[in-house]
Amino acid sequence: MKKHIKLMAVALLATGFSALAQETPNTTNEVTVLRPVEVYVTQRMDSYPTVTADQIPEKEVPRGMFSGHRQRLADHLNSVEDSDIQEDPLAQTSPPTRISRAPIQNFPGIPLNVSPPDPSGAVGPNHYVQMTNGLWSVWDKQGVQASGFPRNLSDPLGAGGDGDPIVLYDREADRWLISEFRNPFNPSASRFTVAISNTPDPTGTYTVYSFNPIAAIDYPHFGIWGNSIVITGNFAQNGNTIPDGRMYAIDREAMLNGDTDVAFVEVFMPDFNPGVAFSAPQPAHSEGAGMASGPVPIVWMQDNIFPGVTTDNISVWDFDVDWSDPSTATVTGPLAIPIAPFDSFIAGTGNNPFANLDQPNTNNRIDALVNVVNYQTHRYDFGTHESIIVNFVVEVTNGSRKAGLRWIELRRTPGNDWELYQEGTFVDPTGDESVFMGAMGMDQEGNIAMGYIKTGNDTFPSLYYTGRGPNDPLGEMTIAEQLIIEGTNSVTTNDRYGDYGQLTRDPVDDLTFWYTSEYSGQPRRTQIASFKISDFLSVDELVANDSDFTVNTLDNRNFEVALRTESTNDILRLSVHNTLGQRVVYNQIERQGNTYRKLVDLSGMSSGVYIVTIGNSKTKLNKKIIVK
């Protein structure tokens, strides 16, 4: 939404951004290729000491990279005058009416008293892993914490970490990624520390990689797409407090293979506009069966308050890399997709622009995290189209300091660009409180789920979820608000809150969502919950006997893998793993006649036993083979 700026010097933040989609998008190919500064394999996690939350000192992590950066952001936010429209045009006025479901699992996460706790969490076939700003832990899917947890982030990520942790489950490799940064504001010593589990067991061993991006790094956002691990965030050059659109990517396949000379590339997003000097573009994380292919979408919202921006829009860049020659990596864009007007700024309190949202029984307000695309941006492939879902906080009524969540679904059909499919602004459906820190996902039926925090004069920070069906009226959340856990007190010592919340879908059924976020006040609390929007499962039951699954070879180097069945039309996934759990082959196979068939060349593999797996997201078959 258009606002007026008192300080014209803010225009210096502009970077030549073109406000609408370009006929000829720009391409950046200024690439720096780096290698790990440290690689090591850890012990099993049960060899490290257990650490309880009360052993971690209480602390506050200020928002913004440097004191100068924080002050510049504060000055800019304090310079924003009244909006030129009074109401969000998409604010949902009719409350959801479809019956919601109670959570399936609902149990406490790590109660780390750090402001903010930065909770990140992901689900795998048998485990849920949560990370916070100091501790991480593993649970089974009934909420039973693994023996010896929680553990310090330094085990296994090494000493000296500074938080902003991330966890992802890599479903195609059946492995776990965990990460935090070190020395984020000292470019000569800054580090992304990224660990990959060596087996599907998150309590086992990890291979840890440490990369020096040679830049100031803050608020990282990770995504897996094809064979790339992509990292965006609030990044800037040494001595510069203005984010400059740099992003990073890591050769995923090389990390999964345990290589020590893994490529880590830095490249810049052309015509990037940092907005208010704090940016959080998001890489699309491909969630669902099958590896994503082609360029990686990078998504960022653009308010027409930003210098040089005339139309509110969602901008999409494409990152592309050939890991056989990472120096050829490129970023192309932006494609600017106009959306309905929005107001991305909520006024702070006094001289603190980050103290935005009310809580009960205190004058202390908490940070709505304005000018941020909330973590995480997921991509889904439905065959006929792909979807990306995005959300960020908006002020619903000008001057009210009441937050809503603008949510957006972009779609792309084969051979076409991303387009706006639907958008809406979700507001408190039962009162006049703020909703913020949205985390969104889609199940394989196209149902959308959104977890969020609610706070206000009458509501301690609490966790809820809502959602919608694929055939419901566009732009509306139709699932009745469902409470996950109610807060019991307010934050009284500072304004920091959340920073991260994360919602992922269960790879076992692609219908169950798992959500983690912060709630309540002090001491800080996090919660983990699972829920469904729909019970319907469209993945076909794969009916086959062992005799239908054959592996033939003449030389024990080349293998013909075949599965005879007419029970499913799904595209099946074929993987080969070694005895360490490392995937060495991956293919997607379509049925021809009544048989799925693939020739697998293992002539470059070491002699030994391997496991061949074929199946869909619901059913898998396995066979052992011997390579000689």
Closest CA to 322 of 194, 226, 222, 192: 226
- What pLDDT does 70 receive? 63
CA pair distance 406, 428, nearest whole angstrom: 12
Residue 538 lies in a domain: no
CA pair distance 411, 415, nearest whole angstrom: 12
pTM: 0.85
Both 290 and 150 in one domain: the answer is yes
Both 554 and 518 in one domain: the answer is no
Burial class (CB in 10 A: 0-12, 13-18, 19+), 225: buried
- What pLDDT does 9 receive? 28
DSSP state of 131: E
- Of 498, 532, 566, the one marking the end of a domain is 532
**Is 118 within 8 Å of 167 (Cβ atoms)?**
no
Residue 539 lies in a domain: no
Residue 273 lies in a domain: yes
Query: Which parts of the chain have pLDDT scores under 50?
Result: 1-19, 21-22, 65
Q: How far is CA 32 from CA 226, 264, 268, in A?
A: 21, 8, 10
Q: Where are the alpha helices (DSSP H) in 16-80?
A: 67-78
- Grouping H, G, I as helix, E, B as strand and the rest as coil, residue 66 is coil
- What pLDDT does 77 receive? 62
DSSP state of 236: B
In 325-385, beta strands by DSSP E: 330-338, 378-381
Both 484 and 561 in one domain: the answer is no
**Is 239 within 8 Å of 256 (Cβ atoms)?**
no
Residue 537 lies in a domain: no
Query: What's the N-to-C CA distance of the chain in angstroms?
Result: 65
- What pLDDT does 306 receive? 80
Closest CA to 580 of 201, 319, 235, 184: 201
Both 439 and 344 in one domain: the answer is yes
- What pLDDT does 584 receive? 84
- What pLDDT does 529 receive? 98
CA pair distance 529, 577, nearest whole angstrom: 32
Both 220 and 354 in one domain: the answer is yes
Residue 116 lies in a domain: yes
Both 356 and 283 in one domain: the answer is yes
Both 477 and 602 in one domain: the answer is no
CA pair distance 166, 157, nearest whole angstrom: 12
Q: List the domain range (segments joined by +) for residue 420.
A: 3-532
In 172-287, beta strands by DSSP E: 175-182, 191-197, 206-211, 221-225, 228-232, 246-251, 264-268, 282-283, 285-286
Both 527 and 576 in one domain: the answer is no
Both 234 and 332 in one domain: the answer is yes
Residue 119 lies in a domain: yes
Residue 290 lies in a domain: yes
- What pLDDT does 304 receive? 86
Number of domains in the chain: 2
